[in-house]
Amino acid sequence: MRVRACSLGVLVAAFLATCALPVRAADTPPREPEVIHTDPHQARLPAVRIDDTLKSYSGWLDQLAASNRVSGLATAVIVDDRVRFEHTLGYADARTGEKVQPDTAFRLASLSKAFATALTGILVRQGMLSWDTRLSEVLPFFKLKDAHATEQATVRDILGQRLGLPRNAYDNMLSSGVSYQELARRLDEVDMSCGVGDCYGYQNVAFSLIGDVIYAETGDFFYHLVDKQIFLPLGMTDATYGRDGLESSKSWARPHYRGGNAWVPFEPNDNFYVPPAAGVNASVRDMEQWLIAQMGGRPMVLPESLLDVLHAPGIDTPSERFASPWRRERVLSAHYALGWRVYDYAGHTLIFHAGAVQGYRAEIGFFPEYHIGMVVMWNCECAEPAGLMPMVFDKLLGLPEVDWAGLNTPVRAARPAPQKPHKRTHGKHTQKH
C-alpha cells in the first residue's frame, strides 16, 4: 500500500488528522473515470490526417530511440477525449535496466502550475476564496517593496504571472537550497519591474504563495486538497507531490545525464520541489486523464465555465514568441492565462505549458477547437524531444513539415555530469506550504 507521508515539521506544526493522506490499494484497479464530452459539435480534423500524423509520430519516436538521443520518455495523444496514441521508450533507470512504462512517474516541473490554478478555481466555485482575494489580507508576512503594490496584489496576479516582479525572482536561491519559506518573506527586497498587473514576470516563489493562501482560507494543506479534489476524482492514481512521493512510486524515472554513449542516472534535486509551482509527479496515464479533463471531458471535476476562466488569455508575453525556433515560426501571439500559456499557433488557439528542472523536461499542449492534445515527458536535459510536439501539431494542422526536433542532424556532444549530485538525506525534504 502507498501512503503519502507528511514531514515531521508539518506534523508538529499542524493537525495530524488534516495532514494524513488517503491510502490506496495497489492491487485494486481504479474505476475508469466516466468521460462526458462538453462540446460534441466542435470542429474536427480529417481522420485520415490524424491517422497519418500518429503513424509519423511513431516513426519519429523510433528514430529518436535508435539514435539514443533521450534516456527515457513517455508520451500520449488525446483525440476527442480518447487516448489515440501512447508510447514509452528508454530507461526509467539505466543503471538497473528498468524501462519506462505507462505508469512510470516523472517530475512535471512547471506543468504543476495548472493543478494549482485548477484547485484555486474549484475553491473559488465553492466560495472558499476569490480570484480577487488580496494577499495582504490573508498572509500577514506578505510584502512587496512598494507598499501600494502590497495592498493591491491578488490571487489572480500571482497565478497570472503579473505581480510586477522581475522574472524568476529568487529562483537561483531556491535552486541552491534556500527555503521557500525564507524567500517568500524576502519579496520586499526585490525591486519591482512594474506595477501589479501591468507586466509579465514569470515566477515560482511568488506563484507558490497560493499554497499559503489556500491553507489560510481553508485550514487544509494545498497538496492534500489537490489529491482530494483533482487526483482522486480524475483517476490519477500515480500522481503525488514531492520527492518522497516520487520515490515511493511503484515505478519512477530517475534523472539522467549522458556519459559518453551511455545514460547515467543521478539523484533528484530536492530544492525545487515547491508544491504549487513545481511539485507534481505523474505518469503518462495520469496525464492522459488530465488532458481529457482540461479539454472539457470531465465537467464534474473541471466544468466548462471554470476552464474558460483558466484558459482565458491574460497578460501579454511577447518574449515567449522567440523562446525557440518553432515559436518564432509558428506563434503569432502569446499570453499567460492562469497556469497556462495561450498561443496563436498559425491561426489556431493552443493552450500550452512546458516544465524544466534538473534532469527532467515536460510539455503539454492542446487545441480546444479540435479537442486534440498531447503530452511529452522525459528524464534528461535533452533538447530534441522538445521539438516533437510542434512536429505533431504542424502535421495535424496541415502545415509544412519541419524537423523541429533535429532528428536528421548529428547527435549533439554529451553534456557534462552534474557537478554536485544531490544525495538523499533522510528527513531533509519537507513539503513546503
The answer as to whether 2 is a domain residue is: no
Pairing of strands 256-259, 262-265: antiparallel
The answer as to whether 420 is a domain residue is: no
The answer as to whether 428 is a domain residue is: no
* Cβ partners under 8 Å of residue 390, min gap 6: 326, 330, 402, 404
On the question of pLDDT at 282 being above 50, the answer is yes
The answer as to whether 427 is a domain residue is: no
Q: Would you list the DSSP string of 364-411?
A: EEEETTTTEEEEEEESB--SGGGGHHHHHHHHHHTPPP--TT-TTSPP
Nearest alpha carbon to residue 205 among 277, 263, 157, 269: 277
pLDDT single digits (tens) 233-247: 999 999 999 999 999
The Cα–Cα gap between 41 and 296 comes to: 13
CB 72 within 8 A of CB 100: yes
Q: Which residues are bridge partners to 105 per DSSP?
A: 252
Grid cell 491553507 in the structure block, residue: 215
With cut-offs at 50, 70 and 90, classify the pLDDT of residue 341.
very high
The answer as to whether 128 is a domain residue is: yes
The Cα–Cα gap between 18 and 14 comes to: 8
E-strand stretches of 170-229: none
Output the nine-digit C-alpha cell for 33.
Answer: 473515470
The answer as to whether 367 is a domain residue is: yes
The answer as to whether 405 is a domain residue is: no
The answer as to whether 188 is a domain residue is: yes
Number of domain units in the chain: 1
Q: Domain range holding 223?
A: 8-397
Kindly report the backbone phi and psi dihedral angles of residue 177, in degrees, each rounded to the nearest multiple of 5, phi listed first.
Answer: 115, 0
Element (H, E) at 249: none
pLDDT of residue 34: 56
The Cα–Cα gap between 108 and 32 comes to: 23
Q: Could you tell me which residue, 77 or 409, shows the higher pLDDT?
A: 77
Nearest alpha carbon to residue 164 among 140, 178, 146, 142: 146
pLDDT of residue 24: 33
Rounded to 5°, the CA angle 9-112-391 comes to: 155
Across 297-304, average pLDDT? 98
On the question of pLDDT at 5 being above 50, the answer is no
377: CATH: 3.40.710.10
